[in-house]
Amino acid sequence: MQPTSTAGPVAVPDVHQAEPIPAAAREAIDALMQTADLFRYNSDEAPVTLLEAEFAEMMGTRYALAVSSCSAALFLSLKALGLPRDARVLIPGFTFAAVPSSVIHADCKPVLCEVGTNYRINLADFEAKLDQDIAAVIISHMRGHTSDMDAIMSLCEARSIPVIEDAAHSLGTTWGGEKIGTIGQVGCFSFQSYKMINAGEGGILVTDDADLVARAVIMSGAYEHNWKKHKRRGENSSDLEEAFERWQNQLPLYNLRMNNLSAAVIRPQIPELARRVRDGLVNHDYVAGRLNQSPWFDVPPCLAPEVRAPDSIQFNLVNLSDDQVLAFAALSAQRGVKVQVFGMSTDNARAFWNWQFIEDLPELPQTRAMLMRACDVRLPVRLTQPECDAITDVLLGAMDDILGEARAYGT
Ligand SMILES: *Cc1c(COP(=O)(O)O)cnc(C)c1O
């Protein structure tokens, strides 16, 4: 926690400033500089191997595989499922461009479904599309918003369709007490700087499926017998070894391994996670409570089984014209709070119509309408309550001022 000033209002904080990396990382990096063991397969006790064991322990999964990004984890998950060329993969129409990109990279075809004004998958559209020759599903918990995982899993299990969870931005979120990322066949997380654990870049996948993880490990770049350094957490690894022997020399190597330096930065952040999640949720719910008192803002509630781990806030602007939305975003920015309106900023990577690398890009009217009013403001977990107030005051004040002007000019 930062000390807070008692003299006057607090300045609007820089929301792109991350929390410092724990000092223990520096010692681990110094040790790596001495030994120069930067490659994960140099030793049995490499930081990447230790990170995988610790992450699997934290998530309660049998296996974890650390890689270069969440995008790489999503790509490897699709490849590890053994999907044939042109297999159709159902994804939400509201996600980051990395998700459809991973599908294209795996030689599959992204199929988009509608997302509602609460940023969660429209289950009627999801179910309708699931019966259109879908081979796999990626559930992207966009900005940590969890869709109804009970309904999704039962629809997919009834059809034997595997579910990959894109939990890039959901580390620490739970659904009915279960950790997000452990509900589908495989879960993928990101360590990019804007996520709960920051290594600049990095990703990890978790699963209980020995065959799936063996395939992903080999394709991630465990050439020759480097797979012998991968174990099942806390138990004998005979089913894993059998899977590795089955797949030895059968799969291409994509070399998406994690560097030991990244693992050295990540490992000391794991004990900080519970605090970050707690503080992030307190900050989010505090700002949401204030915004929801205004008729012009709507922060949708989460679903009942969900406990969130937010480091940003999303809200919809209510009863405003396009011009008023733009004026609100511009005035907030001028006062120090960057508001991203997903559908209104040029070339936004989260607006599906900009994913023009997809053949026959569909129209999704409901998702489009949501994106034209949905706003995104970063709310790093390190913020104090007065700093949260400073941000909220800017948002509420900018709204008052643009509406006041509109009234004054009679529009
Ligand atoms: C950040 C993010 C990704 C991509 O993660 P990288 O590690 O940068 O590849 C994918 N999906 C979602 C929902 C994200 O927030």
Q: What is the pLDDT of residue 52?
A: 98
State in Å: Cα 148 to ligand 1 middle: 20
The pick from 71, 115, 139 for probing ligand 1's pocket by mutation, whose C-beta has the most ligand atoms within 8 angstroms, reads 71
How far is the centre of ligand 1, averaged over its atoms, from the C-alpha of 142 (Å)?
9
The domain spanning residue 178 has which CATH number?
3.40.640.10
Q: Counting atoms of ligand 1 from 1, which one is nearest the CA of 71?
A: 9
Question: For position 1, what pLDDT does the model report?
Answer: 46
In the reported structure, the alpha carbon of residue 317 is separated from the centroid of ligand 1 by a whole-number distance in angstroms of 25
Report if residue 2 sits inside a domain.
Answer: no
Q: What is the pLDDT along the chain (411 residues), one digit of tens a residue?
A: 455 545 567 899 999 888 999 999 999 999 999 999 999 999 989 999 999 999 999 999 999 999 999 999 999 999 999 999 999 999 999 999 999 999 999 999 999 999 999 999 999 999 999 999 999 999 999 999 999 999 999 999 999 999 999 999 999 999 999 999 999 999 999 999 999 999 999 999 999 999 999 999 999 999 999 999 999 887 788 999 999 999 999 999 999 999 999 999 999 999 999 999 999 999 999 999 999 999 999 999 999 999 999 999 999 999 999 999 999 999 999 999 999 999 999 999 999 999 999 999 999 999 999 999 999 999 999 999 999 999 999 999 999 999 987 666 654
Among 218, 253, 271, the domain-final residue is 271
Question: Could you give the CA distance from residue 350 to residue 144 in angstroms, rounded to a whole number?
Answer: 14
Classify residue 83: in a domain, yes or no: yes
Query: Is 27 within a domain?
Result: yes
My answer on whether 241 and 344 are in the same domain is no
Residue 398 within a domain: yes
In this structure, what token pair is assigned to residue 357? 């690398």
Residue 408 domain flag: no
Report yes or no on 239 lying in a domain: yes
Question: Residue 181 is part of which domain span?
Answer: 23-271
| CA gyration radius, the chain | 22
Is position 223 within any domain?
yes
Residue 346 is part of a domain; what is its CATH number?
3.90.1150.10
Per DSSP, 312 falls in state E
Ligand 1 atom 1 nearest Cα: 168
264 and 297 both lie in a single domain = no
DSSP assignment string, 143-165 = GGPPP-HHHHHHHHHHTT--EEE
What's the pLDDT at 395? 98
Question: Are 237 and 88 part of one and the same domain?
Answer: yes
Ligand 1 site residues, Cβ closer than 6 angstroms? 69-71, 95-96, 98-99, 140, 142, 166, 168-169, 190, 192, 203
Q: Which two tokens stand for residue 380?
A: 């790093």
Domain-terminating residue out of 271, 298, 325 = 271
- How far apart (Å, rounded) are the C-alpha atoms in residues 227 and 208? 17
Q: Do residue 202 and residue 334 come from a single domain?
A: no
Question: Do 104 and 125 belong together in one domain?
Answer: yes
Q: How far apart are CA 359 and CA 62, in angstroms?
A: 37
Residues 267 and 299 both lie in one domain: no
- Is 244 a domain residue? yes
Query: Could you tell me if 255 and 281 lie in one domain?
Result: no
Task: Write the DSSP assignment of 82-100 as a string of letters.
Answer: TPPTT-EEEEESSS-THHH
- Do the beta carbons of residue 281 and residue 205 sit within 8 Å? no
Residue 69 Cα to ligand 1 midpoint, Å, equals: 8
265 plus 281 within the same structural domain: no
* Domain end point (choices 207, 241, 271): 271
User: In degrees rounded to 5, what are phi and psi of residue 165?
Assistant: -95, 120
Q: Are residues 152 and 191 in the same domain?
A: yes
Structure tokens at 235: 């138990």
Contact 89, 78 (CB under 8 A): yes
Q: How many domains does the chain have?
A: 2
CB atoms within 10 A of CB 323: 11
Kindly state whether residues 340 and 389 are assigned to the same domain: yes
How many angstroms separate the Cα of 48 from the Cα of each of 39, 45, 146, 168, 190?
9, 8, 29, 18, 15
- Do 248 and 219 share a structural domain? yes
Residue 195 and residue 63 share a domain: yes
